[in-house]
Amino acid sequence: MENKRLFLLDGHALVYRAHYAFISRPLINSKGINTSAITGFVRSLMDILKNQKPTHIAVAFDPKGGTFRNELYPEYKANRDAQPEDITIAFPYIRKIVEGFNIPIIEVANYEADDTIGTIAKKAEKEGFTVYMVTPDKDYAQLVSENIFIYKPARMGNGIDILGVPEVLDKWDIERVDQVIDVLGLQGDSVDNIPGIPGIGAKTAVKLLKLFGDMEGILANTDQLKGKQKEKVEAFAEQGRLSKVLATISLDVPIDFDAADVKVEPINKAVLTKVFEELEFRTIAQQVLGIKKTPKVGEQGVLFGPTVTSHSASESKMPKSEMAPEYSIAKESINTQKHKYELLDTPEEILKLANDLLKVKAFCFDTETSGLNVHFDDLVGIAFSYKKGEGYYIPVPKNRTAAKAILAPFIPIFKNNEIVKIGQNLKFDMNMLYWYGIDVKGPFFDTMIAHYLLEPELRHKLDYLAESYLNYKMVPIEELLGKKGKNQKSMADLDAREISDYAAEDADITYQLRDVLAPKLEEEELTTLFDTIEMPLINVLADIECAGVKINEGFLKEYSVKLGKEIKKMEIDIFEKAGGQFNIASPKQVGEVLFERLKIPYRWTKTSSGQYSTNEEKLNELSVNYDVVNDILKFRKYSKLKSTYVDSLPNLINPKTGLIHSSFNQARAATGRLSSENPNLQNIPIKDEAGREIRKAFVPRDSDHILLAADYSQIELRLIAEIANEEEMLKAFIAGHDIHRATAAGVYNVPIEDVTSDQRRNAKTVNFSIIYGAGSTNLSRQLGIKRGEAKELIEQYFKTYSGLKIYMDKTVKSARQLGYVMTLMGRKRYLRDINSRNRMASSNAERMAINTPIQGSAADMIKIAMINIHIEMKEKSLKSKMIMQVHDELVFDVFRPELDDMKVLVEKHMRGALPNLKVPILVGMDVGANWLEAH
């Protein structure tokens, strides 16, 4: 056979790599299974099969128990953390999937996967194969030859990496591939607990190998070494030899190589169908199982069932697969479920529906629009449902006067506060109707937010909820509009009959979901939180968004010019210090300049593509000692300010209103905090002058108005004192002391009046760091002190506030028993890793357990304040408007004659949001001609 291409996958290495690629935002399905590792592994496998077209393939896994290396050195890999439970759960699924692809699994007792792959690779090479070892593991470099390559799958936006002999020699800076083993033996490996020779790092190892060829050559010529290096090499010679043996991939694994056993075969659809259905792998199922398209409305063939499509086998994503049936994870769809979806386009039909809706206790509505900007785009139609399996769609014309006339019969229904309005992301639909003169009143039931309370870490899109809770596959939007991109249509481009069933289905499915989610809220004791905070907040946020914020374009244009000049000046300074020009916006070039041209020591691992990492955390560490690094960080900050805010804000001004209408996200942060986008108000910098200047651009809407900003003072510290019932901290707050000065007095054991500014600064850092679970390493970095000093500072802190330590220990213990933590208002956050045997995962969960009740209670508190302020402003028919919520701050565009009333009203409701607290709640308040003045 010509062009024999064998791909050998290191199963364990790829699974771990995929798991940690999603560690900050894991992929969790509706059953609570973390599918990150499985998803990443399958996507790598799919990419290889589709794009590399192997003729032969196999997957190797490490066997259970130890290997021959543990017999040689019992401490081998002894320091490794326990395998994360999510990976343990993933492996059986991955094995099933590999079997479903008809790919052989190779596993040999007493040998690791790299030994098995190495042995097979060398045998296959002799039989004329080109071999690709699919792994991120650097140790495989020792196996590379003219016909054997390392294949690193794509990751985090980087493409695949294929390393042959030239690449290995260049990357390791060696003359022969076998010297890889010498480097590994000399430097050791902390991950695998291979000791190496103390004091010999990668660079020193390479330098010695250039002189003496290999480890034995070095050990035979120790007389040519000097000082401590000579002493250590001689003292640890045997340890070095052992380390080289441990680092050597065995090529003597007792396994035969038969090419027929690893030949690529057709996939087993029955096996893959079952496992993909169980994992809820919708997109992957469609791609792997050979779907050409999703069935259109009216066509047959939805569900994991056998309706064969007409596309040929050559069109399949997988090699050699026979013609594939069309699949969906869900078993029901518009084609299988009995339904009554109607298009209503006569006055009589519309009036009848309006009269019917007046008689029901609850109904669902859903708007269809020309785009996703509710403050600019047009209403295309509206769908209603008030019975399971029924939906009614009413198209409206582009002419707003005519559209309002069609919608008029529904105004009494939307205003009726006895009828529950159900929706998915109701705020969007309410805002659209606002621009058509309709004010939608509660009570509400938003299925998106209901699911967010139940599963804050998961996705909340309607199609996901339908499949997860109703086993129902919805008609995809792409079927109507086409694929995303410049050629995608708008709803406004379609005929009403094309939209009708799609829109009616949305309303019907959302209506059905209420009956599933409401009992779950009750069961989890979340109904009160849902009814008293989250649902009333929808009206508040809708009004904030529609009110909008005025932006001073002229100021931003001037500031853009000023920032541009500053950035240019910084660029010149950086080039001068760096000894030449380069692209400061390129992380790759920054790394090369800092660590190669300027020889700044680099002590971290490189990125997966072999580049120096120049992220903010690493550069911040270096900036203390290197001015050029500090300049680069400043350049980045100013450039980001200019592009993200100063130059972008004017583009967000709505041409119809002349205002910016930010969108507030109620179902995103797991702690309950609100976020915003277009623009992201929460991310506008406030800690430095350059960032603060941006707030000057936010101004009152006219000369009759002034901005009022009110924010909670040290709310999280006050709440942790309350929740932990920490007596000393409560005393300080009740006495009105500066809490950071009071903390410093306790930590440094000095009278409060003798506390220095440095002591107060350190105490302030500790106060806020403790809330976020920072340890001595993190604190030492923040304060620029030794780790021992930081550790001592934390110990003194907990002696001063012993109640906090008791609270933290108690909270973590409770979280381990219950699996979740709660805010004062009963908001839950589930911590799947709290009992993990993997220390990194459990430590992260512990930090969340400590922080979430504090941060979440603060989030609930400001939401309650917003609701009560909003209610009183409505009751008094005030002209002033609430226009922004940012962290612990509320901003109002106040009609000047109402200023005194607004100050009293705002402070009353912010201070009294959570009654019966022991700790006093303080609210800072100011006014100004712009947001910075008012803050």
Per-residue pLDDT of 205-226, as tens digits, reads 999 999 899 999 999 898 898 8
Residue, of 418 and 193, whose pLDDT is higher: 418
Mean pLDDT for 673-683 is 91
Question: Poorest-confidence range of 613-617, 693-697, 706-710?
Answer: 613-617
How far apart CA 859 and CA 185 sit, in angstroms, is: 53
Which residues make beta-bridge pairs with 56?
6, 263
Rounded mean pLDDT, 637-655: 93
Q: Give the residue among 27, 751, 88, 111 at the shortest CA–CA distance from 459.
A: 27
Residue 133 sits at φ, ψ, to 5 deg, of -90, 110
Question: Residue 510: exposed, middle, or buried by beta-carbon count in 10 A (0-12, 13-18, 19+)?
Answer: buried
Q: Taking all residues of the chain, what is their mean pLDDT, rounded to a whole number? A: 89
**Omega before residue 443 within 30° of 0, cis:** yes
Q: Which DSSP symbol is given to 267?
A: -
Closest CA to 193 of 74, 15, 68: 74
Tell me phi and psi for residue 892, to 5 degrees: -125, 140
Assess whether pLDDT exceeds 70 at residue 77.
yes
The model's confidence at residue 286, banded by pLDDT at 50, 70 and 90, is confident
pLDDT confidence tier of residue 337, bands split at 50, 70 and 90: confident
Edge-first strand listing for the sheet containing 420-423: 340-343, 390-395, 379-385, 362-369, 420-423, 444-446
Q: Is the pLDDT of residue 640 over 70?
A: yes
Range 628-633 average pLDDT: 93
Write down the number of H helices and E strands in the chain: 38, 24
| Average pLDDT estimate for 337-342 | 93
Q: Of 778 and 179, which is predicted with more confidence?
A: 179
DSSP state of 660: B
What pLDDT band is residue 2 in, cutting at 50, 70 and 90? low
Rounded mean pLDDT, 185-205: 86
Q: What is the pLDDT of residue 231?
A: 87
The predicted pLDDT at position 158 comes to 61
The distance between the two most distant Cα atoms of the chain, rounded to a whole number of Å, is 104
pLDDT at 520 over 60: yes
Mean pLDDT computed over 717-745: 94
Residue 466 sits at φ, ψ, to 5 deg, of: -60, -45
Q: Which residues contact 246 (CB under 8 A, 6 or more apart)?
A: 69, 72, 73, 76, 185, 192, 194
The model's pLDDT over 122-176, given as tens digits with 9 standing for 90+, comes to: 999 999 999 999 998 889 999 999 999 999 987 655 678 899 999 999 889 999 9
pTM for this prediction: 0.78
**Distance, C-alpha 600 to centroid of its chain:** 32
Within 8 A by CB and 6+ apart from 74, the residues are none
Instruction: Render pLDDT for 84-104 as a digit per residue (tens, 0 to 9).
Output: 888 999 999 999 999 999 999
The pLDDT, as a whole number, for residue 685 is 82
How far apart are alpha carbons 917 and 719 in whole angstroms? 9
